[in-house]
Structure 1
Amino acid sequence: MTNVVQHTVSFGGETFAFLIERTARRKTVSISIGFDGVHVLAPSDLDDDRVLGIVRKKAAWLLRKQTAYRELGGQPVTKEFVSGETFYFLGRQYRLQLVSDQSAVVTRVTARGSTLIAPVLPNKHASVQRAAVRGGLRQWYRTRALRHFPVRAKIFSDVLGIPMPTVSVVDQSKRWGSCDARGRIYLNWKLIMAPMSLVDYVIAHEACHILEHNHSRRFWRLLETIMPDYKDRSRRLDRLGHQLIW
């Protein structure tokens, strides 16, 4: 038998709500976070104070994860990877078209006008076909991200007066971009689906982290200096982001 109770915890000036689900089958506390919030699984005989104490110890980590999920703007969309579906590239809509091809051992996507052509082997199980098309689209997007992202990073590094950073295109589920302590920038390949103004916002944001490693007032002033409308771009990315995650 299980029971579910909602609680809240305050940490660092922020309050987040979470669900505690108790079950006799559990011996330890497990904490998970996703687009639908924070969930805590706990043994049925563990009292609230002990569970809340465990959650508080994880509060800093939970807030970081919660911020990352919020950055992506909501639940990812569900894609079937079939003809007629809409996909985005630099903010423009493209229609997917699957084409039967006996030689398509690997699905290599190409663009023709506003259509993304995906050759697929005929008579394959639907799940196999979906996986092939998804893989082909992912590679098509990554190739274009590798082409565009470093060019935009060079623009902002020149504006900031810093050396051109190393730019890596990565597969991230919870972030659009990040910058490590060595000044290397990592960008989610899915970002290439967004309009260029929003791509620029993420790249400018990460480039500023090369000079300011946290979100201090100095960081935000620096970002505002090179991109006065960054707040508007950030809000637009928040609204759009979940449509680009699949």
Structure 2
Amino acid sequence: MPFIQFDHKPLFFTLRRSERAKRLHIIARASVFEVVAPWHIKNRAILQFISQQRRWMSKQLQRQTKKALEPKTVWPSQWLAGERISYRGTTLLLLVEYGREYGICQQEEKLMVTLPWQTKCTEMENVVQKGIERWYQSQAMQVIEASLERFCPILGRWPKAVQLKQQKSRWGSCGITERIYLNWLLILAPPGTLEYVVAHELAHLLYRNHGPRFWHKVSQLMPDFAQYDQWLNRFGCYLKPS
């Protein structure tokens, strides 16, 4: 696919000649630009036009990238079949059915919730919500336990205990008793975000402040931590129920 560079970054485009087109113009599509040209315009003139539009194309690409990073709707308006719920930076289609006993099963891009036959219609939404929140917490703990196995041998220290909470103003904390508390809402964020907060709190086992030694230790545990820290600063507010 042809491209043109701006600020050392490639801008990919396709060319479409049209009998209807009266002038050269560019349509910004997902990470690719479509250049539309009348039949009589020569290729040299088209390339010159694209070169003149590089700055505009670069701004459009940045805008698309920023929009793609924004989290999807996190909290559904209703906890009923057909809604989409957030999980690990994407959304799952919520399906609800009746069965012998309660259960939750993720099937690719779907989350199937099975309710006992005796569940009343008036109680359905509340039962589904509470069940999914428990599922979120169990999924979060699985990620946390895997992160501890990954980071603690590098750190040379293990916390006394790890507990999930839904904190209003914090993503995590590490007390003087070496107990770590983590916000389970982080399971809604893109992969790597919860893992970063685990690494962050583990580093507090060695350094109580946020000085240079602390951040150096975090980078040893997770070299690419900065992108997840920035994501939380920009979009963390989306994770918390309004």
Q: Common fold, TM-score beyond 0.5?
A: yes
Partner AA of 1:88 in structure 2: S
CA 1:79/1:239 → structure 2, altered by over 3 Å: closer, same or farther? farther
Q: Secondary structure at the match of 2:93?
A: strand
The letter of the residue matching 2:121 is K
Q: How many residues align?
A: 168
Q: Choose the corresponding residue for 2:202, options 186, 207, 210.
A: 207
Per-residue deviation at 1:165? 4.7
Contact 1:77–1:242 (8 Å) recurs in 2: no
The answer to whether residue 115 in structure 2 is matched with residue 124 in structure 1 is: no
Please tell me whether residue 243 in structure 1 is matched to residue 241 in structure 2. no
* In 2, Cα distance between equivalents of 1:243 and 1:108: 27
Q: 2:97: which partner in 1?
A: 99
Q: Contact between 1:212 and 1:218, CA under 8 Å: does it hold in 2?
A: yes
Moved more, 201-210 or 89-98: 89-98
Q: Displacement of 1:204 after TM fit?
A: 0.7
Mapping 1:1-246, distance limit 5 Å: 77=75, 79-101=77-99, 103=100, 107-120=102-115, 124-125=121-122, 128-163=123-158, 165-246=160-241
The answer on whether the counterparts of 2:74 and 2:86 sit within 8 Å (CA) in structure 1 is no
C-alpha deviation, 1:153, in angstroms: 1.7
Indicate the structure (1 or 2) with the bigger Cα radius of gyration. Answer: 2
Which blocks of at least 5 consecutive residues in structure 2 are unaligned? 1-70
Distance change >3 Å, CA 76–CA 92, structure 1 → 2: closer
Q: Pick closer, same or farther for the CA change 1:85–1:241 going to 2, 3 Å.
A: farther
Distance 1:228 1:92 in 2: 24
- Distance in 1 between the 2:166 and 2:132 partners? 13
**Residues 157, 165 of structure 1: 8 Å contact kept:** no
Partners of 2:229 and 2:153 lie apart in 1 by 22
| Matched-pair contact (CA < 8 Å) for 1:190–1:244 | yes
Deviations 1:206-228 (A, max 9, x none): 01111111223332232234334
Distance change in 2, residues 1:245/1:78 (3 Å)? farther
Taking CA–CA contacts closer than 8 Å with sequence separation of 6 or more, which of the two structures ends up with the larger relative contact order? Answer: 1
Greater CA drift, 150-159 or 162-171: 162-171
C-alpha offsets along residues 190-245 of structure 1, whole Å, 9 cap, x if unaligned? 21222331122101100111111122333223223433432221111233423333
RMSD (Å) for aligned C-alpha atoms: 2.7
Corresponding residue for residue 45 of structure 1: none
Cα deviation code 1:107-142 (max 9, x no counterpart): 4322222211123456522xx322111111011112
Deviation readout 1:60-98 (Å, 9 max, x if unpaired): xxxxxxxxxxxxx9x974531122222233334211112
Contact 1:177 1:186 in 2 (8 A): yes
Q: Percent identity?
A: 29
Change (3 A) 1:77 1:192: closer
Distance 1:223 1:154 in 2: 15
SS at match of 2:126: helix
